[in-house]
Amino acid sequence: MPSIPQPLVPDDDGSADAAVSSALAAFAAGTADAGAVMTALSGARLLVPVVALLTESEVGEHGLRQEKESEMALPKLVGKDGREAVLAFTGTESLKLWRPDARPIQATTLQVCQAAVHESAAAVVVDVAGPVSFVIEGPVLRAFAAVESGTVDRLGPEVTVARVGQAAPAPRRRRFGWPLRGRG
């Protein structure tokens, strides 16, 4: 019988990590670079959303359509260019800004990056609905996924792997056109 995993932080109240919030605010203000945000995120707990996806419905005795079966799904964003991104949130407040009915699952930033690479997603978008959104992609995404999975040798020549927690060179700051269209 499958067991439900224990939460990373059993007494978690859903608040965003203060160091992450501070780094994101400084990044938005232009007083910190992406490397500072990645350093703060490297040890942080994130929340991955899970939503109910209707798989089958039926017409009830009163003639109204009602849910018969549903599954839980990990939603993804799909960019204008077709690239997919995994969503993660710093706390329940930012999760509610995106979708109030989503249920949070605790994960480390490294686990979220590993899941994104496993799902062939191009990015992880943190706090897509604000207050400050941040994108992890490319070599940085692959490096964080490799730290968790132990596949450091498959990163390619453009990535230098350092111990997590040390500031890495800041990736270029770019804006992406990730629309708020979910995909399960």
Within-domain flag for 75: yes
Lowest mean pLDDT among 38-47, 51-60, 99-108: 51-60
Does residue 2 form part of some domain? no
Where are the extended beta strands (E) located within the chain? 45-59, 65-73, 76-78, 84-88, 103-108, 123-126, 134-137, 182-183
Can you tell me the mean pLDDT for 20-45?
Answer: 94
Task: Identify the pLDDT of residue 20.
Answer: 96
128 domain residue, yes or no: yes
Task: Single out the residue of 89, 95, 78 nearest to residue 17, CA to CA.
Answer: 89
Domain containing residue 109: 18-49+69-183
Is 0.85 surpassed by the pTM of this model?
A: no
Question: 144, 77, 71, 78: which is closest to 109 by C-alpha?
Answer: 144
134 has a pLDDT exceeding 70: yes
Cβ partners under 8 Å of residue 54, min gap 6: 67, 69, 70
User: Please, which pLDDT band fits residue 2 given cuts at 50, 70 and 90?
Assistant: low
Residue 121 lies in a domain: yes
Binned at pLDDT 50, 70 and 90, residue 107 comes out as: very high
What does the mean pLDDT of the chain come to?
Answer: 78
Cross-strand bridge partners of residue 52: 72
